[in-house]
Structures are given as structure tokens and as C-alpha cells.
Amino acid sequence: MIDESTDGLRVNDSVVIPRDELATRASRAGGAGGQHVNTSSTRIELLWNVGTTRALSEEQRARVLQKLSSRLDSEQTVRVVASDRRSQRQNRESAEERLADLVRAALVVPKKRRPTKPSRAAKQARLDSKKRTSDKKRQRRWQGD
């Protein structure tokens, strides 16, 4: 396994994104923070190329490409931006956590749905309920002479 602190970003037990595949760009963040925000580059943009990564098997790559297709650019790169914290380090950690969450969610294989039928008792209960409602409404009707 790759040590998370130095060489990789741990997504789950089987997937670790090597740090050398993550491109980071820092820029000035807008919003709250006063003069500090105008003078320091605390906004972090984290880029990861899904198409060329060594971290995923072909099956996992296909799943991630399909699930994150709306977030990918033409080179199959996913971009995560973090600018909610005041320090560059905190924003980098936040961006890495968001990327890990995105990839973790994309790797989830949904359970196959098994079609079911209502039981005989459930069908009977539904019909009885409909009958009661029908009787109730019939009794409300005006019965002229």
C-alpha cells in the first residue's frame, strides 16, 4: 500500500491516487477575508487526469469516466476547486478530500434490482381498501325519492 501522507491520496481500501498525478494551481480567492484574501494565493485548483491514471483498473476507469462525465474536460481531467478556507494548505486538504469523495462515490457499484410482486395478502388488502372507500363515497351520495 502507498503511504497517504507522502505518496498518495487514499480514495478507498483498493484505490490510492499517486501524488505525482495530481496537478495543483494556486490563485487568489475572492470573498470574505479582508485584505488577506487580496494579497495571498489561497484558492486551490486540483486537477487529476482519469484517462491516464495508474490508480484505477480498466473497469474502474470506465465507471469513473461514465459517472463523472459531466465534470471532465476534453482531456478526461477532473477539476476540483477549494477556496473556502484562509490558508492554502487547508484549501489543498479540502480539495483533496472532495476529489477522494467524488471518486469514491463514482466507484460504487449499485446493487442489481430484483423485481418483486405484491403478495396475495397485499393485493387483497388493496382491494378491500378500495371497496371501503367506494362504499363510503356511495353512502355520501344524495338518494332522491
**Domains of the chain by residue range:** 8-107
| Alpha-carbon span 15 to 115, nearest angstrom | 33
Residue 128: how many other CB atoms lie within 10 Å: 10
Residue 135: per-residue pLDDT:
95
pLDDT value at residue 124: 97
Distance in angstroms between the alpha carbons of the first and the last residue of the chain: 88
pTM of the predicted protein model: 0.67
Task: List the chain residues with pLDDT less than 70.
Answer: 1-6, 30-40, 145
- Determine the CATH number of domain 8-107: 3.30.160.20
Helix, strand or coil, per DSSP, at residue 118 = coil
Cα 125–Cα 127–Cα 128 angle in degrees, nearest 5 = 65
